[in-house]
Structure 1
């Protein structure tokens, strides 16, 4: 584990950029960016367009270590290059931004009010490659739709089983049990979730480090004790479908919680913008998200 990167994520001021839409969400991400499906004719071309979009974001003068601590990539991006350097190396060496990798394969069917992660075949091989490509940590997402104690317990158990496997490679896992912002009993689901997270954290070996990526809680500062937990490097928040303005407003009310936004970060960015317009739009977004993250 790179101690310089660990220190930056643990104590640095800023937020984590989530550039990791993949698989089924890729056409949607491209569409939001203004690239219609007629601009690519197969998966390889689609991923080319995505990498061009990600490269434009990463190389932008607005994408800087003053505001951004880390960036979450997906596997295809990890394997590609920016200006002749692997993406993770470009992020760290040229930008001072810590690289993470999304490792999950999407969500299983809804059961007990939750969606567990699908099995991740070949995970050990992927983690070995991540280490070789200088990735610092990983991210994996589950989804909680109802305050169902059995379902939430299963979500957290699955996350921690895989997190320990990841930590065994010297990587820092981001555990992401998202609570659906539209859930009718969101606050109650968060109470159950916090209890399960605390239980699992207390059972970890003393040297195991994890991160948590959580929906912005219904009750302000609800996760402050998790932020203080010695196993937790950082607690980051997902935007979860809120607009950037809404997400920033809610985040600013939670001391010590920082952003890890995807859609809310890329909101308004478009293939049609000139470089000056693109950089100005991204600069405003990073500044606003940064301000909400340092409260």
Structure 2
């Protein structure tokens, strides 16, 4: 029985993730010739072409696209096995790629990453800040923090805490435009629409007696980042629906008013999401454990 060429599979994953033989060689500390030979060796073994090569561009073939997830899992499992075999006292090292929502990342995650790096100076954090949803496997992320009602998928999710959404306005806005008492009243008001929502401009909620309602305030502003919603709301120009970590403090000190407080928005959670492989490098497990310890309470 012939064993699989695990090195070639790992090299194939590196070329696919970096987009070039040269970049993969640098990432793996190998020569470009050795990287090219490993991919060629795997193509011969599989009897198929994994990449289409031109003078300007390298792209995965149809067969390569179908096999690259397997290659990534082989590489990740190999890295996890090596790190698991190390002495626990040995310094963790390597890069952890994480995707984080922009505003939450700046408020809550960036300070934590700084303290984590103090504990583990050998770990490099590659943090992608964006409210757009990323594909963890295709884009090579080790994990993502997501605030959402997560759909069923092959990804592995670790729930950290509930995130409550508040409908908010300034006291001045309420004095001038009135305070809504039912979601149907909101069609007379202007609101900030969040462009990355599943249904931008549609706010779904449940009343104290279980009544379901959808509110559609007229658009005053459309944003793809929630931080942009706060200035017009604080200025009394419109209302908005924002997560608790944005507005709890302002509600407590009276700068903002929580509208329809007896109504609850659809359930959202803060979760860590990772690729489907059950094996993760020790450096990734360390960061997950740190987030689980520090991101389960109130943020703000």
Q: TM-score, normalised by structure 2?
A: 0.20
Comparing both structures, which one devotes a greater share of its residues to strand? 2
**Structure of larger gyration radius:** 2
Structure of higher RCO (CA pairs closer than 8 Å, 6+ residues apart): 2
Q: TM-score, normalised by structure 1?
A: 0.21
Comparing both structures, which one devotes a greater share of its residues to helix? 1
